[in-house]
Amino acid sequence: MLAECFVDGKWVWGGRVESNPISDAEQLLCLLYPITQIDTFAVHDPDSTQRDVLRALRPFGDASNLPRTLVEIATDYFIRHTDEEGEPRFAAGSYLRSLNPDDPVPEDERLQQLEVVDGYSMSITLCLSLLLFVNDRERMEARSAHVEKLVDLRARASRRLTSAMVGLLRSFVVNSVGSETNEGRAILQMLNQGPTTDAELQQNLRNRFERLRNQLKTDVRLGVEAEAMPDEDQLFECGWTWGIAKDAKIITEYAADIAISSQQGYAQPRPWLYFTVSALDGIVDLTSRRIRTLNIFTDEQRSLADALALRWELTQRYWSAVARFDAERWPLEDIPWRTSDGQESDYYSLLVVSVVIQDLIARTATDADLVKAVRVIEDLARRGRITSRFTENDRAAAMHFPGVAQGLVGSEDVMDARLALYTTDFTPLVIKRSLQAAFLTDDVETREALMVVAEAAMDQLDGRRLIRDGQSVDLWDDVGRMLPGTRGQTFDRPSWYLTERVVEALVATANTYQQDTPRDPAMYDHLLRLLNEADHIYNQELLRSDVDDRSSLRDRLGEIGGHIARARELRQRRTSTAIALVERALRLLDLLAEADADASRSR
């Protein structure tokens, strides 16, 4: 990455697309996210920076100058994407294309008015990473001039964080529709997985979502018009639209002094699955235990975080309940998922899986829930050509390139043409969700199935790395090497959109392997039986031994006792390792028994 971005001592912004606030945030997060999420990659303390990390980041300078260079680059990001009035900019800019990919995008300043939820969500992750870094680094910085730069960086990150939180708040929507509308019929058709009449289904929906409907009406006040709240006989969806919603309420309770609190919105007030999942991921970072314990929020930010956490909970509950509406056959199992505007895609099924996995993480998941979720992930991996091969004219190829078009309904009011954001992160998203699901289960077979899918997805990404001087480099994405229909089309500049998603998947991998291995109940029962036998025989040998004996026999008994004690210590966390230790102790005890028997025969 540094060979691409750090040239002649200066950071170079931009990649496959021109520099914009979202792409630049993704570019910076490719460095900052691992540094702040994985302890062995930390660089804030020169005395504890790992040698391999220092070697990889050597262009930034020695262990003392490395974090200072990061501060300079991060500060440059905020300067570039803040306007003359000091307000942060979140425009998607060069990421936006015409809904018809062959049509040109109008290029003028109006394009900078179109902010999307990705800009807010990615800024939350970036600003939190920087605030964590500043918090750790400030204690280590000895020079006053550099301390002042850290203070300045904290202020810039904090201001952008507040704006991004307000942007997310004003992008949250509730879409209430009648059952006879096109949207209502699409929702009912997706949910109906059996011989249930529409009337019965609607009654089931009213019963299932009564509490959630009432909570939306009473608890969600900031940013949502009362008229949008569902009546008892209406269907509804909640989540995030693509940007600040059209007619979104002006925020006066918090952060009223910043422009985004009253900024005009253009987005149709209907949830988009992609932007909903993007927002949920950002809020997960916002509400993590680590962030809460560090006390890095202002009072204003705490109030905004609480408001977003409420919306996170309501949205998780809604989409998880919809996905699992029929206990016998989940609507989620009916691939591909159909959205309320009639769009269908395996990618939308994967996005709904993402919400379900997050919901299962937030509460105690049942084995039945996990088994169903794993089957869906395996099916999507096959249909998305991760665990199966591409064929000529394969329709699945479009999910990887040019991607799934997220049409920005309402953008035509600004640009005189409807624009779209094309999403191409199917494969890294499969890795991330597979590993998050693997973290949930103690079942060895379930975990193994998920790891097989994740490894196959990583193999696919391995074949999509950029080629430089005939060698693959760890930047993405030369998708032309993989997809039918793109033969001969090469991509020589990095997509920070996809590379950042790969980094997220790798961080999820690291987090998974930091957890203890799952405990199989049958193996654990077997271990307890082995421990009981080993302990019994060991104590028999102790009783027969001479307490004053200082021979090798006494040393051997000490070794056996050490194996048994270590096995007991590991029995909950590493069952197989504990079994190996007990079996070693039993073999040594058997050798002692054989030696004793030989001695008796010789007498």
Domain spans in the chain, listed from the N-terminal domain onward: 2-513, 533-602
Residue 600 pLDDT > 70, yes or no? no
Amino acid identity, position 492? D
| Widest CA span in the chain | 104
Distance CA(570)–CA(553), nearest Å, equals: 26
Cβ neighbors of 395 (< 8 A, separation 6 or more) are none
Q: Which two tokens stand for residue 59?
A: 């262009």
Rg of the chain over all Cα atoms, to the nearest angstrom:
28
Q: What is the pLDDT of residues 476-531, one digit of tens each?
A: 998 888 876 665 567 889 999 999 999 999 998 888 887 776 667 788 888 889 99
Q: What is the DSSP string of 297-366?
A: --HHHHHHHHHHHHHHHHHHHHHHHHHT-SSSS-GGGSSSEE-TTS-EEHHHHHHHHHHHHHHHHHS---
Give the global pTM. Answer: 0.86
Q: What is the overall mean pLDDT for the chain?
A: 88
Q: What is the pLDDT of residues 366-420, one digit of tens each?
A: 667 788 899 999 999 999 999 999 988 888 998 998 899 999 999 998 888 889 9
Cβ neighbors of 208 (< 8 A, separation 6 or more) are 321, 325
Query: Domain 2-513, what fold?
Result: Glycosyltransferase (1.50.10)
Residue 429 pLDDT > 90, yes or no? yes
Residue 13 pLDDT > 90, yes or no? yes
DSSP state of 421: E
Distance CA(436)–CA(468), nearest Å, equals: 33
Residue 8, Cβ density class (10 Å: 0-12 exposed, 13-18 middle, ≥19 buried):
exposed
Nearest alpha-carbon partner for 31 in 507, 534, 374, 590: 507
Q: Which residues pair with 271 in a beta bridge?
A: none
Distance CA(356)–CA(365), nearest Å, equals: 10
Distance CA(455)–CA(512), nearest Å, equals: 13
Nearest alpha-carbon partner for 272 in 171, 194, 413, 364: 171
Q: What is the pLDDT of residues 525-576, one digit of tens each?
A: 888 899 999 988 888 888 877 666 666 777 788 889 999 999 998 888 788 8
Phi-psi label, residue 401: left if phi above 0, alpha if psi -120 to 50, beta otherwise: beta
Distance from chain centroid for Cα 150: 28
DSSP state of 112: G
Average pLDDT (18-35) is 96
Are the C-beta atoms of residues 229 and 314 closer than 8 Å to each other?
Answer: no
Q: Which residues pair with 240 in a beta bridge?
A: 172
Distance CA(121)–CA(344), nearest Å, equals: 25
